[in-house]
Structure 1
Amino acid sequence: MKRERWAGLVVISVAVALIIVDSTIVNVAIPAIVDDLGITSTQVQWVQESYTLVFAAFLLLFGALADRYGRRAVLLTGVVVFAASSVVAAFADSGTALIAARLVQGLGGAAILPTTLSLINATFRGRERGIAFAIWGSTIGGMAAVGPLLGGWLTTEFSWRWAFGINVPLGILIVIGVLVFVAESRAERPQPIDWAGALISVIASGSIVFALIEGRTYGWWFTEEAPSIGDWTWPYEISPIPFAFAIGIAFVALFVVRAITRTRAGRPVLLSPDLFGIRSFRNGNIAAAIVSLGEFGIILALPLWLQNALGYTALQTGWVLVALAGGSFVASGFASATIARFAPVTIVRAGLVAEIVGLVITGLVISVDTPWWAIVIGLFVYGFGVGLATAQLTNVVLREVPVARSGEASGTQSTSRQLGSALGIAILGTLLFSTLEADLRTQLGDAPGADQVVSAVVDSAGAAIPAIEQQSPEAADAARESLSTATAYSAYAAAGFLGLGLLATLGLGSGRREEDAAPAAAPEAPIASEGERRD
């Protein structure tokens, strides 16, 4: 039985790898997709972001569905949906078909992530629990770096269609593994699903994430690029982003008020406010959201800098980023060896310190002639920190949550991380491109054609530099230096966010070792009830 649980953990980790790799692999394949399908810049944007939008919006709902209908059942459904939509994406003959497939992929991913968390929470206890979360977290950190390498290889050696097609054999293996090694678990006394609350949560999360990921494109206040659907184009000077934020905030308020009212009346809710009475869950979610502002933010800037400033190919860029994956996987073994001696929150803080150090090292060595090994050192240290902090922070957030409510809590934790990540990418992306523009304008001064060069470099995220070099090597050199400066600033900013996250972990206690002496919960029949301990 014990051997089956660990085999099940491997399968669960591969399921997480499936969605993490897919979210990064597509970025590398985009140029080939543009060449093959001839899609517009707007469609390019939605191929990348439609998945993220749906994924973030439905995490909370699928977490609740897992508690009621079975965590393994929801995980299997998510994997099947994800694999089936990957087939559609692989055979897409237009941008519209590809975007539609990506939207459905987002649904599958939203069903997978929180159920993997809740299955671990329901299956493991004590020291084993910390080891299990270490493996789960290291998989996320490692796969975020492996994705670009895999995408570069598949796109270069075969076709961009294999960036989606590879999900099919992986999905089949996961389904078989889940059926063989993962036992079903669900709440003993599940409540009916609050479908109205689910709709409100989808609108709230979707609106806020849309505003965060599209703000730089459409304009944070005034319209810079009018969004369009078919023949319809946004007609106002005010950007749609403030409206999206307003809708999101209004629906968050409605969700909270409605949840409190229905809870007092004894009626079912999607997310019960009493979960936030658990100190580790409440403060852990706050810390996780803040940490997510900085975690993986550098992954946005580094590939652009490596390819457009240093001239690396997509495959070479992927190999450099493998250092992050290596650090993350090493952290898994380190956490497994130390979890018996140190409290999870102590390991979280050590991981955040390592992340900050890694980002500072990376920022310090970034220049137009940085050797690859210098970047690898910083990324390895950073990846080591990610492998420690991501896993054990999740462990801390869920450790006191009743097993019967694992899905509900996992969906909440995943949503808080996703919102924090979207906010971090929005801020770091804005910093990257505004710094690039300001620094390049300063370097070029009043030189002829300066405005055109700046616009070309910023709008293309540096991809226009090789073309500029053919006309003006001096301007291209200035662009490379400015992109390097902007990337270094992004690394420092990400380190600053992680510093705030480190401070936020002070609300999680002293970090003294506290053994969780509860026996491993039987996956088939979790015995935790609604009345389990509260802070």
Structure 2
Amino acid sequence: MENGIRLHSAQGRWVVLAAALGSGMAMLDGTVVNVALPHIGAELGASLASLQWTVNAYLLTLAGLILLGGSLGDRYGRRRVFLIGVVWFAAASGLCAIAPTVGVLIAARALQGIGGALLTPGSLALLQATFHPDDRSAAVGAWSGLGGVATAVGPLLGGWLVSGPGWRWIFVLNLPLAVVVVLLTVRHVPESRDDEATGRFDVPGAVLAALALGGVTYALTDAAEGFSAAVAVSALAGVLLAVAFVVVERRAAEPMLPLGLFSSRLFTVVNLVTLGIYGALGGIFFYLQVQLQTVAGFSPLVAGVAFAPVTLLMLLFSAGAGRLATRLGPRLPLTLGPLIAAAGVLLMLRIGSHASYWADVLPAAVLFGVGLTLLVAPLTATVLAAVEVRRAGIASGVNNAAARAAGLIAVAALPLLTGLSGDQYRVPSAVDSAFRTAVWICAGVLAGAGLLALATVPGKAPEAAPEPDATWYCQTTAPPVDPGHECPGSTAN
């Protein structure tokens, strides 16, 4: 018997809001920091490499540990692990706010990533585990829309805070938001877990994943300053550790990354599409705010407001995009979305030293926002539909890890590919030249992701993989979420 709360119910709306605010807190932090990078560099005397690590320290621990976070949620309860992640994230944000040096800031950002690794997969797995199957796509669409708003509104909030009280307040912002998320979650979100999850956690796998990503990231970041023995050793170590990670996962009794997930062709393909899309987004967002402030001469506030249309489009239409994908199938939105976003990125070539917001920035923002709105919800819903519901946590973790790892590698590699290094991020001519190269690279990657989806993603909406036991998500101390079903051990009559 199918079970789950309905999206149109009061509890359903609260669950979506709690999950979206939690994941949105992590997403918001990822974009809001980009606006502050020039000011962080000026106040703390940071080089471009240090600014890259301010972004990548967060992405490194998030991408390296997010699979473990999904597994922890499946085992010990998604709501419980989600709450721990929210509190951890808030505490690390407070440390970022008081960081006296760029080194302390980078360390605190790494701690933030650990919190994000706990809360991010849990937020999405809560939806997949809690909602009625007929409402899951729409719930994911609403979650994607609200989360996308957090991503898009980040530059706006960041610009306002940097222009006003200062960049440290972008981290203080997380503290009251975390309090709201905790209260909503405790009050309205039911617990869920995978009762078949047993055995030890794959700590060696988590360590190898983080070290492999760290080695590659260090090599790419340091190579922008010139090739050295340290770069070569780091790159080689990263590759060897990645190979060791795959070997360990193949042999582990309880692997952090069950390689059997990739026996689903759809799951594999959509994660490859995710790598392309989020790599391009991570790269262009890193460069865009520096271009707007250093080259176009926009203030942090105006630079943040510049892409407000993206926020509006995602707020209004992401849930509808999720429903549309359910009816039409995922191929069309996963093809058109990246291609339209790529066209929006190419329009950013008009952003130069004398850029006009209305003529040069707004058209790019609108087209870019249309593309993101079309693709985000269908991408998420499709990757989850490719696996059975009880594995929602690990599936969410894999997809999030792919997205974060792609952004991590993009931010590390683009300065090397575009020839930007040292303190050149303060030189308008150097930034402008690097930005234009980055635009072509990111647009090409987005277009490639769209064409890959066209060639490989099925036109028909996939059916959720069957689950062996429809009662798996119940919390034994709570009344059943479906009036016609008794949870194991429930005291409800």
TM class by smaller structure: 0.7 to 0.9
Preserved contact between residue 262 and residue 268 of structure 2 (Cα < 8 Å): yes
2:327 counterpart SS class: coil
After alignment, is 275-284 or 344-353 more displaced? 344-353
Aligned to 2:178: 171
1:494 matched to 2:442? The reply is: yes
* Deviation at residue 135 of structure 1 after TM alignment: 2.7
Which residue of the other structure, out of 337, 345, 348, is the alignment partner of 1:351?
Answer: 337
Alignment of 1:322-337 (within 5 A): 322-336=308-322
Q: CA 1:432–1:125 in 2, change beyond 3 Å: closer, same or farther?
A: farther
Corresponding position of 1:234: none
2:474 maps to what in 1? 524
Secondary structure of 1:368's counterpart equals coil
The offset of 1:459, in angstroms, is: 4.1
Give the CA RMSD over aligned residues.
Answer: 2.9
1:368 paired residue among 350, 353, 375: 353
Shift of the 290–33 alpha-carbon distance from structure 1 to 2, 3 Å rule, reads: closer
Amino acid at match of 1:496: G
Aligned residue identity for 2:191 = E
Give the partner amino acid of 1:78: G
Equivalent in 236, 249, 259 of residue 246 of structure 1: 236
User: TM-score scaled to structure 1, two decimals?
Assistant: 0.79
The alpha-carbon deviation at position 507 of structure 1 amounts to: 5.4
Deviation at 1:317, TM superposition (A): 0.5
With over 3 angstroms needed to count, the CA separation of the structure-2 counterparts of 1:54 and 1:517, relative to structure 1, is closer
Matched to 1:252, the amino acid is: A
Is 1:302 the counterpart of 2:288 in the alignment?
A: yes
For each residue in 1:167-212, what CA deviation from the matched residue of structure 2 results, as whole angstroms up to 9, or x when unmatched? 1100000011111121111101212212233322332233334434
User: Aligned partners of 1:407, 1:517: CA distance in 2, in Å?
Assistant: 14
Query: CA shift at 1:41, angstroms?
Result: 7.1
Q: In the alignment, which residue of structure 2 is the partner of 1:444?
A: none
Residues 53 and 210, structure 1, Cα contact 8 Å, conserved in 2 = no
* Shift, 1:97, TM fit: 3.8
With over 3 angstroms needed to count, the CA separation of the structure-2 counterparts of 1:404 and 1:517, relative to structure 1, is closer
Cα distance between partner residues in 2 of 1:216 and 1:307? 26
In the alignment, is the contact (CA less than 8 A) between 1:83 and 1:168 conserved in 2? yes
Q: How do residues 308-323 of structure 1 correspond to structure 2 at under 5 angstroms?
A: 308-323=294-309
The alignment's TM-score, normalised by the length of structure 2, stands at 0.85
Q: Deviations over 1:286-338 (max 9, x none)?
A: 22112223224322222222222221111110110222223333331441552
Q: Report if aligned partners of 1:39, 1:94 keep a CA contact under 8 Å in 2.
A: no
Contact 2:193 2:472 in 1 (8 A): no
Give yes or no for contact 1:77–1:111 (8 Å, CA) kept in 2.
yes
2:107 aligns with one of 91, 100, 103: 100
Shift of 1:277: 1.0
Q: Deviations over 1:49-77 (max 9, x none)?
A: 32222222211211111111111111101
- Partner deviation per Cα, 1:72-108 (whole Å, 9 max, x = no partner): 1111011000111222222334444433322211111
Residue 504 of structure 1 corresponds to: 452
Choose 1 or 2 for highest CA Rg.
1
SS in 2 for 1:255: helix
Unaligned stretches of 5+ residues in structure 2: 476-480, 486-493
| CA distance in structure 2 between the aligned counterparts of 1:367 and 1:26, rounded to whole angstroms | 22
The one-letter code of the counterpart of 2:334 is: V
- The whole-number CA distance in structure 2 between the counterparts of 1:409 and 1:337 is 21
Distance 1:383 1:514, change over 3 A: same
SS of the counterpart of 2:85? helix
CA distance in 2 between partners of 1:357 and 1:127 (Å): 34
Q: Deviations over 1:106-142 (max 9, x none)?
A: 1111111111222222233555222222233334443
SS in 2 for 1:341: helix
Instruction: Tell me the distance in 2 between the aligned counterparts of 1:30 and 1:506.
Output: 37
Please say which of residues 139-148 and 63-72 is displaced more in the overlay. 139-148
Q: In the aligned structure 1, how far is the partner of 2:354 from the partner of 2:393?
A: 48
Give the Cα–Cα distance (whole angstroms) in 2 for the partners of residues 343 and 45 of structure 1. 38
Partner of 1:204: 212
The alpha-carbon distance between structure 1 residues 34 and 514, as it changes in their structure 2 partners (threshold 3 A), is closer
Are positions 1:10 and 2:40 aligned together? Answer: no
**Structure 2 residue corresponding to 1:133, chosen from 140, 143, 146:** 140
Select 2:193's aligned residue among 186, 207, 214. Answer: 186
